[in-house]
Amino acid sequence: MPRARTYLIAAGVAAAAVVTRRSLRTRIDRSPLWPMPALEEPISGLRGRPASTRVLVSGRSEPADGVVQLHLEAMDAGDLPGWEPGAHLDLVLPSGLVRQYSLCGDPADRASYTVATRVISEEQGGRGGSREVHERLHEGSEIEVRGPRNRFALVASPSYVFVAGGIGITPVLPMLRAAEAAGADWKLLYGGRSRATMPFLEEIEKLGGPERVTVVAEDEDGLPDLAGLLAQVPEGTAVYCCGPEGLLGAVEGSLPESCSLHVERFAPGAHAGGSGTFEVELRRTGSTVSVPAGTSILAAVKPLAPNVSYSCEQGFCGTCQQRVIEGEIDHRDELLTDSERGDSLLICVSRARGERLVLDL
């Protein structure tokens, strides 16, 4: 009997240890910042990063001049993660660059994704991602994608006005299909340099017809009459706009007070560079650096923290997310949730509202 009692006690201790380990693992999984004092390496930049998937470029086409469309299929037999209109993917390109492209296919298709991009030269502000897509991704290419994520979701509304400029049509196209399927009242103003440069034009014109779709090719029609379009929309209309900064600004300036505006930018707003100087302390290294006007925190801290992670440098991918220990944040990204904004920032675009930030770096 004493031997049996010893075995029972040992078994009980082992079972308790298993339960404790599981409980601890669950707690850590739910809160990656716990327990902070025990962390030897910073976890900043890792929260919220979407899961990755290996995909095959199964098809490539050119729906307009200078535009490449890619069909991406999963490498295994399982379904791809689902998405809704307005979502985008992170493409991890062969060079290691990470770029974001809106999904423009059918959300019901769980076997493949469709994205499209226009090549942008350096003179036009391009940073090499779109050119790499055009030159290096072909049928048979294998790449990693992350997401989908949606910061441009289609809200429920009895009526919509969509405004798209050029390649900005990509997130809007699934929205048009969804609005039409729901029987909602919708109109689209679609502008571009010329009809030959405007992707999906034939499908869009068939979908809505001339009573719903207004196409403005600049070489034929000049600039669109946004004020005239928006002056006629019903109260409570949801207005969605994606395109270059000038187009977004014009829509914002013409929007009736009774309408809600939802925008997606190609790049951070013009204010992202910042005009004030502030200090950033890197708490883990004990260093302090000055961030002058027109310089990002990322650029300022890289000489002191050369291994800091970053990719898009536009506030979209989340790779450079860092935890803030002290200081008030001026958020200028298109990614973080409200809860994340409480104690972290993307150092490629965001800045300090005051004179000093302290980062867990």
What is the pLDDT at residue 17?
40
Question: Which has the closest alpha carbon to 89: 192, 170, 202, 204?
Answer: 170
Write the pLDDT tens digit of every residue in 84-94.
999 999 899 99
> What stretch of H or E contains 238?
strand 238-243
pLDDT at 5 over 60: no
Neighbours of 244 (CB within 10 A): 17
pLDDT at 96 over 60: yes
Pairwise CA distance, residues 168 & 159, whole Å = 20
Write the pLDDT tens digit of every residue in 176-227.
999 999 999 999 999 999 999 999 999 999 999 999 999 999 999 999 989 8
Are 162 and 188 in contact by the 8 Å Cβ rule? The answer is yes
Over residues 239-263, the mean pLDDT reads 92
What is the pLDDT at residue 268?
56
- The string of DSSP codes covering 42-67 is --TT-TTPPPEEEEEEEEEEEEETTE
- Kindly report the average pLDDT of the chain as a whole number: 83
What is the pLDDT at residue 269?
53
What is the pLDDT at residue 99?
86
Are 319 and 307 in contact by the 8 Å Cβ rule? The answer is no
pTM equals 0.73
What is the pLDDT at residue 312?
73
Residue 259 dihedral angles phi and psi, to the nearest 5°: -105, 155
Diameter over CA atoms, the chain = 97
Over residues 272-287, the mean pLDDT reads 83
Per-residue confidence at 272, pLDDT binned at 50, 70, 90?
very low
Question: Which has the closest alpha carbon to 282: 297, 265, 262?
Answer: 297
Write the pLDDT tens digit of every residue in 35-66.
323 233 333 444 445 578 999 999 999 999 99
What is the pLDDT at residue 319?
79
Over residues 112-131, the mean pLDDT reads 76
